[in-house]
Structure 1
Amino acid sequence: MTTNEILLEKLHLLQVHNLALEENRAFNSLILDGLDAILKNDSTETLLTEFFNILQQAISFSAAILIKINPSDELSTLVTASHPHSDAIITQLTALDKPNRNIKNVFNLHQLPNWQVTDPFWNSQHAMLTTPVSTSTESYQLYIFSETIGAFNQHDITLMQRFVSFAGNTISQFEKRNLLVKQKEMEEKQSNIEQVLINSEKMASLGQMAAGVAHEINNPLSYIVSNIQNLAYNLEQFSHLINTLKAEKAITQQTLVDTLQHYQFDELQTDSSDIIAEMTEGADRVKEIVQGLRQFAHPDQTQIGDIDITELIDNTLRVAWNEIKYNANVEKHYNTEPVIITGRSTQLSQVFLNLFFNAAQAICDKVGVISITTKADKKNAYITIADNGSGIDENKLNKIFDPFYTTKPIGQGTGLGLAISKAIIEQHSGQIRVESQLNQGTVFYITLPKKPKLTDDVLTILNANKPIE
């Protein structure tokens, strides 16, 4: 090999190397511009349009069209185009070249037998380079045109292939990011809706209790008001007695005895003590009802503390008593020792209230029995609430914990009570199950760990969307 031949070969290798460097430089420039576009855009189609402009910096073309392909029927929809009146040639483009996985370089469109256009601009286009663009959710087809015959060379094809691959993969990540953001937004909206539903169910229970609680409070208050009048009379008699004794110049033993007998002092003293005791009992009853109502209606459902299950059940019974007392007798079979667990008393009170209401409403045409049993071992507390009411049909039993499912007549139930109860028990790492026989009665079994691992997660009653893999 002569010296000239060696120099020519080295020159050729250098040109190839320079061409590769130039391709890499151009491609790297495209990537940098593409990444910058991703940061500035928030929709896939806007981003693809931006990629048009970026691609034109590396490949010279006079027009470009991007269409979206519907995989089910292969119909095409225009996404964006660099020139107006592009709709007119979309059908012809897809007919000339069915969307496929390969890049295609058309040397001269006018040599194709089916290429017939009347628009002056599109009639002036000769070369075409087309390639599919696939993302994780959509399929597109990109077309670029030139007025010069055979305008696109291997360098353009390679650059376009690499950029389209980069664009497809990058936009797939972009779409996944957007899906994650949308999923997060949907989860937040769902959580807000669930909290509204849970609070509305709670308010519905409060509304149901309102008349009964007013009646329960009114009885001891009426008794207190009545006794105040009796006590006022007794105080008046005591005042007369004292004034009479003060008027006497010399009080003998006999005078004192006669005066006390006249005013029936012993009876007044005994009666006044009884009145005060009865008023205190009535006031304590009102206090217990109000405390139970406050515990149930407390807005902070996240407060965690030690709970005496027996005390919590009794407080809830007092609040619900007016709903229960006309329908059922309550039998209590409490554990001999206090059953203390860690939990959220407001939420657990809501569970017991729902179960008491359901039991009372299931008992009709007879005075029924609601039986409450509590037991415990080293790890768990066990609560059983049973009634001898109408029972639940076996075909409906597996649905009663579903949100919005109710066996009550329209307008008498939201269908959320048991769904919320189940969610609360499960949030306390516990379990709730039910057994029922039609016309025999229903039993709810609750198991609660004494020391559950409670989190700050909001209560959820609906199935959340699965996270994106």
Structure 2
Amino acid sequence: MKPDESLLDKLHQLQIKNRELEQVHLLQTLILDGLHVILTTEDIDALFAQFFGLLRQALHFDAAVITQLSDERTQLLSVSCTETDSDGALNIVQHIHQKGLERPLNAFHIPLLFEEPLTLTSPWSDMRSLLGIDIQTQHAEYQLWIFSNERAAFGPHDLTLLQQFSSFAGSTISQVEKRRLQQQQKELQARQDQIEKVLISSEKMASLGQMAAGVAHEINNPLSYVLSNIQNLAYNHEQLHQLIDALKHEVAADTALSILEHYRYQAICVDTDDIMAEMTEGATRVKDIVKSLRQFSHPDQSKTDDIDLAELIDNTLRVAWNQIKYSAQLEKHYGNKRIVVTARSAQLSQVLLNILVNAAQACDEKIGLIQITLCDDKDNAFIEIKDNGCGIPEDTLTKIFDPFFTTKAVGKGTGLGLAISKAIIEQHSGSIQVSSQPNQGTSFVITLPKQPDLSHGEADGYL
């Protein structure tokens, strides 16, 4: 070999080595940047978008798409694309998939792959070359497709680089998939724990409802005796009063007056009348509470009645009074007009109870005031429950009707009260609005049609 030929051969070998070193450098750069992506990216969609940016550092291309094989392994699904219109790319690779062309694939001239021209939209109609490789992960099969407007744009070195990168990409995607699955498992576990708490709470509420109905029944019987005996005692007291008045005429006036004053007859009569009145009032209140408990714990929540809203509110207040009386004063503005709606009384009682108890709890740290206003128009009835409590922050106000959302301490609330209340009101074709200012108070306004269509939903499951 001549000296000139020897130098040319060495120069050629050096060029090959240099190209290999450049390729190794490019791959190492991709891997290092990819490691950074792994550490900073939690979402797979964002990961794919960053993959395109990484590849642009090593390869020149005009568009790229990542597809995933469907569960039936019959078609490809677009996962991520550099273009907003991914249908063209999906059309091309779907035809490649149907033709059974294996990967890695280096197509120098795309139209030659198909017997008939494909109908493509811009920018895919201008694509002439593509590289295609498989990316295997633990949970899915992806394909990476890189397009160029130039014919024969990609060479063997590009395909080798992409193949080497695909192995790393598969590991990267697997790591993100694993983190995502772990996060989903944590969320599912938290959700399951919350549901279990709600179910336990629901069971407790159902048991309490049955117990309340049983207690109300047991109290009602002896209470009937008490009320009956109070009436008999009042009658006997009146008879004794008449007897003493009659005896006064049989005894000398001075003597009778002296005897009556000695035994404080007049004071005893007044005191006894007061005692009888207080006993009657107390027993009647107990009777009303028992009646309210029986109505509230009635098992048939799907029963529809014509309901006097003022009476319904008062019945609910008797149930909630123990929570309200220590926290707030109560103002009722019912007006002089009787307002009647067709509704499920047990459900509406539950809505009112939820809102009233929340209002009382909002007033715990100040001198509270709860105002209940009832009014109507031709078609609707309106109930406003307003308090001057702690109020609700603006960023929280939009979430209060979300299931499981609560601002109460752990164990103090399930986050279902207002969600169920909204569902009940909407089931009655009504609406519920809330307005609030921190440290000023909160107002709930319930709108109820007087004649709603209740045939579309049942009342199952509300506690």
Sort the TM-score into its range (normalised by shorter chain): 0.3 to 0.5
TM score, norm. by length of structure 1: 0.47
